Amino acid sequence: MLWEGDLLLQVGTRALAILSALTEVPGRLVAKHELLERAWPGGRVDDANLKVQISTLRKALRGCEGLIRAEASLGYRFLGEAVRADPYLDAQRRSSLVPQLLTEPIGRDGVIAEIVSLLKESRLVTVLGPGGIGKTTVALAIAHRLAHTFTDETCFVDLSRIARDDQIGEAVARALGFPVGEAPPAFEQIQAALQGRRILLVIDSCEHVADAIALLVEQVLGLSNEVWILVTSRESLRVGAEFVWQLEPLEVPPSLMDNAANAARYPAVQLFLRAAAEVSDDFTLDDEIAPTIVEVCRRLDGIPRAIEMVASMVATLDIGEIRRSLDQRLPLLELDRQDANPLHDSLFSTLRWRCDLLPLNERAVLRRLALFTGAFTLDAAVAVAADDVTDASAVREAVVALANKSFLIVNLRISPPEYRLFETMRAYVASPRGEGDATERLDRCQNC
């Protein structure tokens, strides 16, 4: 897309690359091989492809087609005067479609760099992980890192505020920047908005509408080779060509870490210190409190949102009191604000919102699995969770489904595989808010 005076040219990325090459040196002959390399870098195409793109440009110029002149079999030259747009304003236009990062992610540089590289090879990448692990933060960092890679835009589609499949079209339309009327946009309208644009589409928090998003993603990738899609979700889309990246918690120190200098090298502790510094000017890490902070980070499984929320308590609670509260499962993480987004008001709100979307049998099995304080096998899960209503096969299916939806951590490196709940999830499910109901089942599996 290009402005020429009062004329808006709508052309594809290859035609735009050719026009850019011509206008960079107005009046000078640009050889065919230069234009081919510019539009199809590293590719092998013949002159016919170039002629098609030149024809497209001339049609788009409407009355000014004579500005592009062919020179026998040598190449083309641009006869007009080229006025360069402000690259800062152009970059600002592109990045304005993506929310700004309020803080730089900690401990994610390697992950971000690898996913950026991966997107150069795969047009669909899903960042997978449980709530609060930082999927959105990583996706935003990737989007800003790639802002100058895509000719048109990097667009961010926030699905956390929608509840139904029929609201997806409007969310995508708004992200793409075209007006939304009273009727939901049809896929044909989205298709038209994407046509001829080289774009990265970031689709955030889509697990509750995963089936509909999977269908949309397949359609979009099928209609254009110039659209890349980055998804964040608690479960994969299970569509062709999807590359799934499992986002791990922040690295936490080993339990025997006993001094400040060593503890401060770990991302989980670094995040705790940054969050604590935002609410308390005099909070500092020393050898005396380092073991306690390490243990808090470990108890929170290195989950960024949980660490940030607990660290914010240092303005009113001693770090020792925070540790004891976690031991006693007091509602430190229950910080609900009325009328807030259910995905962002608190960690417990996120967990409740996600649990409420589970089928009843999976929700029941999850509550019973909260009895395990550590890892457990599938047989142990059956021993604790099966009953007259939910038989052994149903429990096994539920455990696999919960693992696929990032409610359980799976260790496949051992045999038989072991499962484990994140500590924050276990604390929520076992709490009255999680409607825990299975304490009496523990005697079924004394050795689990």
What domains, with CATH codes, occur in the chain?
A: 2-78 (1.10.10.10), 90-246 (3.40.50.300), 262-327 (no CATH), 354-434 (1.10.10.10)
Q: For CA atoms 266, 267, 269, 270, give the dihedral sign.
A: positive
Distance, in Å, from the CA atom of 25 to the CA atom of 43, rounded to the nearest integer, reads 23
pLDDT attached to residue 179: 64
pLDDT attached to residue 5: 38
Distance, in Å, from the CA atom of 296 to the CA atom of 102, rounded to the nearest integer, reads 24
Distance, in Å, from the CA atom of 16 to the CA atom of 1, rounded to the nearest integer, reads 7
- Kindly give, in sequence order, each residue whose CB lies less than 8 Å from that of residue 77, ignoring residues fewer than 6 positions away: 22, 27, 28, 29, 30, 68, 69, 71
Q: Identify the CA nearest to 334 among candidates 317, 310, 354.
A: 310
Distance, in Å, from the CA atom of 166 to the CA atom of 171, rounded to the nearest integer, reads 10
Q: Under a CB-based contact definition with an 8 Å cutoff, are residues 194 and 176 in contact?
A: yes
- Kindly give, in sequence order, each residue whose CB lies less than 8 Å from that of residue 346, ignoring residues fewer than 6 positions away: 309, 333, 334, 335, 336, 337
φ and ψ at residue 128, rounded to 5 degrees: -110, 145
- Compute the radius of gyration of the chain from its Cα atoms: 27
Containing 424, the helix (H) or strand (E) segment is: helix 423-430
- What are the strands, taking DSSP E only, across 137-248? 153-158, 199-204, 227-233, 243-246
User: What is the residue type of 164?
Assistant: R
Kindly give the residue spans of alpha helices, DSSP state H, lying in 40-167. 47-61, 87-95, 109-118, 135-145
pLDDT attached to residue 99: 82
A 10 A CB-CB count for 61 gives 18
pLDDT in tens, the chain (448 residues): 343 433 445 556 778 888 888 888 887 888 888 888 888 776 667 777 788 888 888 877 766 767 888 876 788 888 876 555 444 334 444 444 688 777 789 999 999 999 999 998 899 999 999 888 999 999 999 998 888 787 567 889 999 888 889 889 888 888 887 766 666 667 777 877 787 788 899 999 999 999 999 999 999 998 888 899 999 999 999 998 899 999 999 999 987 777 899 999 999 999 999 999 988 888 889 999 999 999 999 989 899 988 998 898 888 888 988 888 777 654 555 544 333 444 344 566 667 777 888 899 999 999 999 999 889 999 999 999 998 888 999 999 999 999 988 889 898 889 999 999 988 788 788 776 555 444 444 444 444 4
Distance, in Å, from the CA atom of 369 to the CA atom of 438, rounded to the nearest integer, reads 9
pLDDT attached to residue 133: 92
